[in-house]
Every structure is written in C-alpha cells, then in structure tokens.
C-alpha cells in the first residue's frame, strides 16, 4: 500500500510537508507524477510549480537515492533495487481557492491533486493518508477513517484527490437525512445563523434526495470557508468546498448566494460525480480531458440549483422568475452568443472559461449561463411534446440510471439526443433540430415559446439612457477606464479600445456617473467626441450613438393562461402562482 503523510510543522511558512512511502517496487527506477489540474475545474494549473525540497530515500537506512526531473510534473527516482522507498517534499500553499491549497496560522486546507504525487500504473490501488496537524487542530474530510486518529483510507487515487481536507479549529455542525450523517465544517465567522444554516442545508439535501430517489453516499461533508469578498465552490463525490463572503447570510437577497451555491454543488453529487461525460473518468491528470458536454454537466446543474430551492420552499417563485430573467438579459447582452456554440464552449473550457479577458463577451459564451437556459428550453419542449407527461426531471433520472458511476459515462456523440427521443417518443426530428440549433449551433434562443408552455411571457425593459456607447467602464482610483467594448456597439466602430482612459465627452470632464448623466441628454444618432488617454497619448474619437438595446428581461404570467399552462407551471415549480 502507498502511504501519504502530510504535516504542517510551521503553518506560517505556508509549507505542507509531504512524505510518500511506496512499496512493492521491482525495477531500477520509479516515476512519481503530480497532477496538473483537479477534476471539476477545467484548466491546467501546473501544481508542480509549488513543489520544493524534493528528496528520495531508502526506508531501511534513510539513505538518499538519486533522482531527476523528467518532465514539468514528473520525478524519476533510481531505487537501487530497493523494494520500498520514501519520497519527501514540501508544497507551498498560499492560494485560498476551492481548487488549490492554503496553509497559514489559522488553518490548513488542501486539495489532493495539488499536493499528492501518484505512481503511474498504480492509481487503482488502495491508499492510506496520515494527517499530522498542529496541536489543538482537528481534521475533517470525506475520506473513510482508519483505526488511528487522523488516519484515513482511500479506495484509489481518484478517491484520495476527490476528498479535500480541512485542518484547524473550525466549527462542526451536524445533521442527518435518512440516517445518513452530514457535517458542515465552518472556517471563519460572519453573520451566519447556525440553526438556520443547518435547517436550510438539510432541506436542500432532502429535496435533492426526493428528486433522485435516494442519497448515493454513506456520509457527506460540507467544507465552508467564510471570507472577505470572495466565493466559489467545487464538487466532490461525498463532500464539497464552498467559499462565500462572510456577510452573505443577511439580508435575504445575499443569503440566496449561499443557498444557490449549496444547491448547485450538491446536485453535482449526481450530475457530474456519478452521471458524467465519458471523457471525465477515469481521469488523465497530466493533460486536458476534453468533452463537449460541460454544458450539460454545469448547465443542467445551474438550471436545477434555484429550481429545487423553489420546490424546497427556500425561494419564492417570483424571485426564481426574476433570476431567470436576469440570466436571459445577461446572455442576450453578450455578442459572443452568436459566435460560439455550447459544444464549442464546453470543449474550449480549458483555454477560455477560466481565462476571461476584455474580449470574452464578444467571442465566447458561458456553458454555465447558456447551458442553464438551454436546459430550461429543453424542459419546456419536453413538457409541451408530451402534454406534460414527461419533463427534464424524467430525463435526468433516466440518464442517471442508464450511466452509473461504475460505467463508462455518457458517450460524446448523440447520447443525450437519443435519450430525449426515447423519453418523448419523438420520431419527427423535433429534438434533433433543437440540438442542432441550440447546442451545436448559435441560433437565438426562443424564450417566448418556452415561457408560453408554463403560461409566462417575456417583456424587455431598459434601465439606462436610450443613447448608447456600447462600452463598460471601471474605476481605477481617480481614473475611469474603458473595461470592455462590445463588438456590436458604436464605440467599437469608432475605434475605442478596452484599456483607454476616458477623460471627457464633448470637451467636458466625465467619469462613469457623469457619463450616464450626459448620455441621458443625448439621442440615438447624435455624434459625440470622446477624449481619451491611450497609454500616454491623448486621442479623440468621434462616436455616433446608437439606440441602447434592452438590458432587463422581466418574466410575468400571461393575462389569461389556459389550464394546460397552469398545470405545467404547478408541476414545474411545485406551487400555484397562476391560481
């Protein structure tokens, strides 16, 4: 058995000390590799750059063994015929995100992929982990405990890196659902209400249990970091790491962030960690694992995270529709929706999604955002084509049964479409056209058709001035910077660049607030003169203002929905706003 020991003798140095004991060796050398990415976060992160002090030794005499780097992420140790060796190294951990590792005087948190090397060809073997925290610290993880304190067992390397570990003086809240224990490990303090936190988190677990029929784990651990102005989440098979602003829990609009994030990441227990695209398991930890189905993994999950909150009684249906309208407006204000398909967005996640720049909205689309909206359209289309007898809920459960965690995963080509056609009995090509237009293609989404199925309609409004420049601004101290320029707007046509510093409009000093006031005085078709610094050069740009596109999507009930629409609405949201 390969045994890992991780200690933190001087937390203020941000250095995890890792020891790996490898037995069963029979060759002249052994290779050890550190992953370059972690499942659920699709970007090469080069974790090996944080490794230092690498060394290899015999376990019998502690004699140093020769070693050398053979790749950016790989070390080769000459064993000298030894059957058992020990490798030691440190990992610098000062990056507090859900996908990395962090150690300081207050706590230690690590994702296995960023700290534990593996032996190629032996990833399927059982492993042992020993954690040696500073005195007074406790250790919390989703791994199975062994017989000794702070010692854990993993069935294989995938399980080891899929169970992050929190070490420190964090609080532990506990509850059960169906006799299954759940823990919330909270690091940090804010305006949280622990009693409400337990009750609402339990309710989220219950409604998702009801959705799929059963809980697929023996126990579950929520690791919750309360931070200042940061957030994120990363799913695991029987645990999660969530990060939220410490003042998230009040008022109610802020508290939604915790509820939505918790619902989203828990839903991944089924959709992502068990029901998964075929390329996402078993993992190749050294390079990109491409799939065109991330829009389903994340899109279906983001569609259901708030929808299930409504069904759980934790979000009002009116608020859900407001959030749905916000998503519609966000997508429609991204020119990139007409250039990049959902399949392309999924495939290019490794180079685009985690590396946005000032042109991202012009050239790409989020597989989260558009994926969620396409899943909404698909849900309504299924309901319409089956007279309300089937829905996306049924499709999700059908797929979950057809592609278990022990199987090969969802095939890349045509499997989702085939499942929809089987569920609905469609032989007319309706859903083949749907997938061609909205998943493989870049056709505009037909919101009106989908909303009408549930007795709803979309109304567009504009919050700002009618006269439009087509650029976004940001403050840098006293400076006003052009943050981005829309490729379908007048500023783009006039040659205004992202990064320009805006000084004046028609000779008068403006900042972001004053610019809005000045635009209120103008009309579409007017020409204005912008004074800008581009680097150290003072330039002017003449811009002919355009009619501002609507930027607020309001979803409301139809004046007189029919009975079929009323039934769909009730079935969809689980309550009767339409009467």
Beta-strand relationship, 501-505 and 479-485: antiparallel
Domains annotated on the chain, with CATH: 2-168 (2.60.40.3650), 171-252 (3.30.2010.30), 296-460+555-573 (1.10.390.10), 467-547 (2.30.42.10)
| Residues 35, 32: Cα–Cα separation, whole Å | 10
Percent helix, strand, coil in the chain (nearest 5)? 30, 30, 40
Name the stretches of the chain with pLDDT < 70. 576-579
| Residues 186, 193: Cα–Cα separation, whole Å | 12
230 touches 212 (CB < 8 A):
no
**pLDDT computed for residue 188 by the predictor:** 98
* Residue listed under structure tokens 């140093």: 64
| Residues 69, 83: Cα–Cα separation, whole Å | 21
DSSP 378-434: HHHHHHHHTTTS--HHHHHHHHHHHS-TTS--B-SSSHHHHHHHHHHT--SSHHHHH
**pLDDT computed for residue 577 by the predictor:** 42
- Is this structure's pTM higher than 0.85? yes
**pLDDT computed for residue 576 by the predictor:** 45
pLDDT tens, 206-231? Answer: 999 999 999 999 999 999 999 999 99
Beta-strand relationship, 537-544 and 151-154: unpaired
Peptide bond into 112 cis (omega under 30): no
Of all helices (H) and strands (E), which one includes residue 299?
A: helix 294-311
**pLDDT computed for residue 66 by the predictor:** 98
Show the tokens assigned to 345: 């967005």
C-alpha triplet 548, 550, 551: angle, nearest 5°: 110
What is residue 90's three-state secondary structure? strand
| Residues 118, 24: Cα–Cα separation, whole Å | 14
pLDDT tens, 140-176? Answer: 999 999 999 999 999 999 999 999 999 999 999 999 9
Show the tokens assigned to 512: 């972001």
| Residues 125, 22: Cα–Cα separation, whole Å | 12
**pLDDT computed for residue 60 by the predictor:** 82
For residue 7, the tally of other CB atoms under 10 A from its CB is 16
DSSP 514-542: HHHHHHHT--TT-EEEEEEEETTEEEEEE
Cβ within 8 Å of residue 479, ≥6 positions away: 501
**pLDDT computed for residue 421 by the predictor:** 98
DSSP 191-214: S--HHHHHHHHHHHHHHHHHHHSS
């Amino acid at each position: 058995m390969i045994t890992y020991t991780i200690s933190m003798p001087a937390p203020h140095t941000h250095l995890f000390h890792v020891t790996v004991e490898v037995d069963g060796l029979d060759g002249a050398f052994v290779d050890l590799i550190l992953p370059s990415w972690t499942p659920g976060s699709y970007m090469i992160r080069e974790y090996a750059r944080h490794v230092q002090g690498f060394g290899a030794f015999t376990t019998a005499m502690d004699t140093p063994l020769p070693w050398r780097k053979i790749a950016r992420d790989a070390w080769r140790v000459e064993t000298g015929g030894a059957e058992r060796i020990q490798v030691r190294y440190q990992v610098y951990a000062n990056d507090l995100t859900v996908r990395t590792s962090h150690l300081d005087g207050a706590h230690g948190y690590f994702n296995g992929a960023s700290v534990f090397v593996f032996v190629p060809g032996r990833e399927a073997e059982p492993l042992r982990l020993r954690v040696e925290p500073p005195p007074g610290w406790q250790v919390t993880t989703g791994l199975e405990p062994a017989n000794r304190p702070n010692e854990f067992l993993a069935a294989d390397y995938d399980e080891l890196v899929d169970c992050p570990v929190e070490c420190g003086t964090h609080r532990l809240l506990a509850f059960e659902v169906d006799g299954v224990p759940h823990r919330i490990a909270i690091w940090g303090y804010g305006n949280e209400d622990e009693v409400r936190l337990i009750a609402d988190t339990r309710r989220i677990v219950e409604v998702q249990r009801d959705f799929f029929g059963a809980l697929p784990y023996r126990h579950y651990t929520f690791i919750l970091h309360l931070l200042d102005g940061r957030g994120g989440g990363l799913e695991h098979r029987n645990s999660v790491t969530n990060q939220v602003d410490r003042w998230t829990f009040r008022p109610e609009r802020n508290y939604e962030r915790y509820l939505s994030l918790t619902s989203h990441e828990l839903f991944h227990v089924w959709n992502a960690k068990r029901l998964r695209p075929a390329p996402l398991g078993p993992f190749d930890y050294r390079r990109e694992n491409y799939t065109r189905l991330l829009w389903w993994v994340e899109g279906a999950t983001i569609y259901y995270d708030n929808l299930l909150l409504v069904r759980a009684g934790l979000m009002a249906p009116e608020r859900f529709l407001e959030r749905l309208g916000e998503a519609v407006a966000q997508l429609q204000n991204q020119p990139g929706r007409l250039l990049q398909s959902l399949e392309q967005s999924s495939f290019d996640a490794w180079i685009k999604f985690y590396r946005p720049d000032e042109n991202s909205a012009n050239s790409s689309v989020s597989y989260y955002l558009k994926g969620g909206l396409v899943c909404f359209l698909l849900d309504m289309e299924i309901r319409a084509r089956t007279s309300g007898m089937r829905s996306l809920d049924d499709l999700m459960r059908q797929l979950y049964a057809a592609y278990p965690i022990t199987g090969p995963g969802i095939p890349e080509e045509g499997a989702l479409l085939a499942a929809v056609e089987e569920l609905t009995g469609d032989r007319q090509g309706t859903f083949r056209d749907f997938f061609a237009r909205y998943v493989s293609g870049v056709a505009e989404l037909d919101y009106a058709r989908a909303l009408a199925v549930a007795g709803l309609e979309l109304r567009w409004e504009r919050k700002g001035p009618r006269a439009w420049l087509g650029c976004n601004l940001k403050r840098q101290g006293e400076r006003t910077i052009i943050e981005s320029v829309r490729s379908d707007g007048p500023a783009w046509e006039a040659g205004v660049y992202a990064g320009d510093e805006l000084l004046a409009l028609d000779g008068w000093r403006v900042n972001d607030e004053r610019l809005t006031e000045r635009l209120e005085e103008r009309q579409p078709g007017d020409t204005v003169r912008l004074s800008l610094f581009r680097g150290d050069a003072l330039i002017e740009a003449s811009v002919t203002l355009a009619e501002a596109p609507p930027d607020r999507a309001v979803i409301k009930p139809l004046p007189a929905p029919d009975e079929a629409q009323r039934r769909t609405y009730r079935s969809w949201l689980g309550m009767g706003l339409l009467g």
